[in-house]
């Protein structure tokens, strides 16, 4: 059994209708509940009926986050290795059809980027590539892990979905986590966003978390691209996915992220607008639903919004990010995957975090306990 079997038991329209049918009484019952909340509770928390309870949700989210994670914020930084991609995602500046300069960093270029990042103080590195099996597939990534492993405490990957044995080989080279976003769980619309390339295979992507778990990946990151489809319904399916994976692959840890569509080279307009209040509601809903899950927020979001969320449920943030390959040593703005909103340097960002009474964590605290 994989997540695909669970997924097939849930229909998009019925799920959406059941979220929008939740009432104030459902929300109040969920907020008053002691102990673990279930997926029906999650529906109530993300429903329109929960909007008037946002303040109460934020207070509870903060309490639960501090109970589990203390007053800490983990930091990571992305290193874009390659913008080569054989897929055609209609919302992405790296898509195959876009006539942009294509770059895959070689070892010398990667080392130069990594040295700059290391000097900023980061110990948790996220390697990001497009999805091009020949240019930036498992063999390339193994080479990069070998090169970078001595320089960083944790290296995570946001790369093309792979087979189990390929993930196993990356775990053996020191890969710590894999983040694979489903983009949308709307099966009727998925093909329209992903018309060509390997990513057009929705089932293969849906089963990625299972393959990561089977390969022994220490952390698995989930999410959907907010703005493609109704955010409430897509978020329910993400929570369903998380719930399933946590039970099935209990040895791994889990993380959720909230990418909102940002401007890029091209003309894609979001179908569904996700406001700041919506995103706050969603983050608080996740925390109330799941006290253990790590919640990550990138520099796509504006500084003032990120500053507020430090205390309201988020546990992990990036800072000082560049989204173009080679961007830490050269200015390649035209190669960016998306424009970042928070361009503060790490020092300014960490000063802000500390001013709120929070401690900055540069690497996961329990890595010394990992034996594999
Ligand atoms: S979202 Fe990823 S897979 Fe799709 S075009 Fe962009 S880089 Fe390629």
DSSP-based three-state secondary structure for 35? coil
For residue 124, the domain's CATH number is: 3.20.20.70
Please tell me the total count of domains within the chain: 1
Q: List the end-to-end C-alpha distance of the chain, in Å, as a whole number.
A: 26
What is residue 272's predicted lDDT score, i.e. its pLDDT?
Answer: 86
What is residue 363's predicted lDDT score, i.e. its pLDDT?
Answer: 79
Q: Is residue 370 part of a domain?
A: no
CA 21 to chain centre: 28
Q: Is residue 61 part of a domain?
A: yes
CA distance 88 to 90: 6
CA distance 105 to 147: 13
Predicted TM-score (pTM) of the model is 0.95
* 132 within ligand 1 shell (Cβ under 6 A): no
Could you tell me the distance, in angstroms and rounded to a whole number, from the CA of residue 130 to the centre of ligand 1?
5
Closest ligand 1 atom to Cα of 93: 6
Q: Is residue 366 part of a domain?
A: no
Q: Is residue 372 part of a domain?
A: no
CA distance 173 to 130: 20
CA distance 170 to 329: 27
Could you tell me the distance, in angstroms and rounded to a whole number, from the CA of residue 279 to the centre of ligand 1?
23
For residues 319 and 298, the answer to whether their CB atoms sit within 8 Å is no
Q: Is residue 165 part of a domain?
A: yes
Q: Whose CA is nearest to atom 5 of ligand 1?
A: 95
Q: Is residue 248 part of a domain?
A: yes
Could you tell me the distance, in angstroms and rounded to a whole number, from the CA of residue 83 to the centre of ligand 1?
9
Q: Is residue 369 part of a domain?
A: no
Q: Is residue 275 part of a domain?
A: yes
Phi, psi angles (nearest 5°) of residue 176: -100, -40
What is residue 93's predicted lDDT score, i.e. its pLDDT?
Answer: 83
The radius of gyration of the chain's CA atoms, rounded to the nearest angstrom, is: 20
Please state, in angstroms and as integers, the Cα–Cα distance from residue 333 to each residue in 175, 339, 364, following that order: 28, 9, 31
Pocket test of ligand 1: the residue of 199, 205, 323 to mutate, having most ligand atoms within 8 Å of its CB, is 199
Q: Whose CA is nearest to atom 7 of ligand 1?
A: 130
What is residue 88's predicted lDDT score, i.e. its pLDDT?
Answer: 95
**What are the per-10-residue average pLDDT scores of the chain (372 residues)?**
97 98 98 96 98 98 97 96 95 88 95 96 96 96 98 97 98 97 98 96 98 98 96 98 98 96 67 92 98 95 94 95 91 71 93 96 61 40
What is residue 262's predicted lDDT score, i.e. its pLDDT?
Answer: 67
98: left (phi over 0), alpha (psi -120 to 50) or beta: beta
Domain that holds residue 47: 3-361
Could you tell me the distance, in angstroms and rounded to a whole number, from the CA of residue 230 to the centre of ligand 1?
21
Could you tell me the distance, in angstroms and rounded to a whole number, from the CA of residue 84 to the centre of ligand 1?
9
């Amino acid at each position: 059994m994989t997540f695909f079997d669970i997924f097939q038991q849930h229909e998009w329209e019925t799920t959406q209708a059941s979220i929008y049918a939740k009432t104030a009484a459902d929300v109040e019952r969920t907020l008053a509940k002691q102990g673990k909340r279930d997926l029906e509770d999650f529906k109530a928390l993300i429903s329109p009926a929960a909007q008037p309870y946002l303040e109460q949700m934020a207070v509870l989210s903060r309490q639960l986050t501090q109970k589990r994670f203390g007053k800490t914020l983990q930091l990571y930084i992305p290193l874009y290795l390659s913008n080569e991609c054989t897929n055609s995602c209609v919302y992405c500046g790296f898509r195959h059809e876009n006539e942009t300069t294509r770059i895959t960093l070689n070892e010398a270029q990667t080392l130069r980027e990594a040295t700059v990042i290391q000097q900023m103080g980061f110990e948790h590195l996220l390697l990001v590539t497009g999805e091009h099996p020949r240019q930036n597939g498992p063999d390339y990534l193994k080479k990069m892990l070998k090169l970078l492993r001595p320089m960083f405490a944790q290296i995570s990957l946001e790369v093309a979905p792979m087979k189990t044995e390929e993930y196993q080989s990356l775990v053996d080279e020191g890969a710590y986590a894999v983040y694979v976003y489903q983009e949308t769980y709307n099966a009727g619309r998925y093909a329209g966003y992903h018309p060509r390339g390997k990513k057009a295979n929705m089932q293969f992507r849906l089963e990625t978390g299972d393959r990561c778990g089977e390969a022994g990946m220490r952390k698995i990151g989930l999410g959907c691209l907010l703005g493609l489809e109704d955010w409430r319904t897509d978020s329910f399916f993400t929570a369903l996915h998380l719930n399933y994976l946590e039970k099935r692959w209990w040895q791994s840890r889990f993380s959720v992220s909230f990418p909102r569509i940002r401007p890029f080279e091209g003309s894609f307009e979001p179908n569904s607008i996700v406001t700041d209040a919506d995103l706050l509601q969603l983050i608080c809903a996740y925390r109330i639903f799941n006290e253990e899950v790590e919640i990550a927020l990138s520099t796509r979001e504006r500084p003032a919004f990120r500053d507020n969320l430090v205390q309201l449920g988020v546990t992990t943030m990036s800072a000082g990010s560049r989204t173009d390959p080679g961007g830490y040593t050269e200015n390649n703005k035209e190669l960016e995957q998306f424009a970042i909103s928070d361009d503060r340097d790490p020092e300014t960002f960490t000063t802000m975090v500390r001013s709120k009474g929070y401690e900055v964590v540069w690497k996961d605290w329990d890595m010394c306990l990992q034996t594999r």
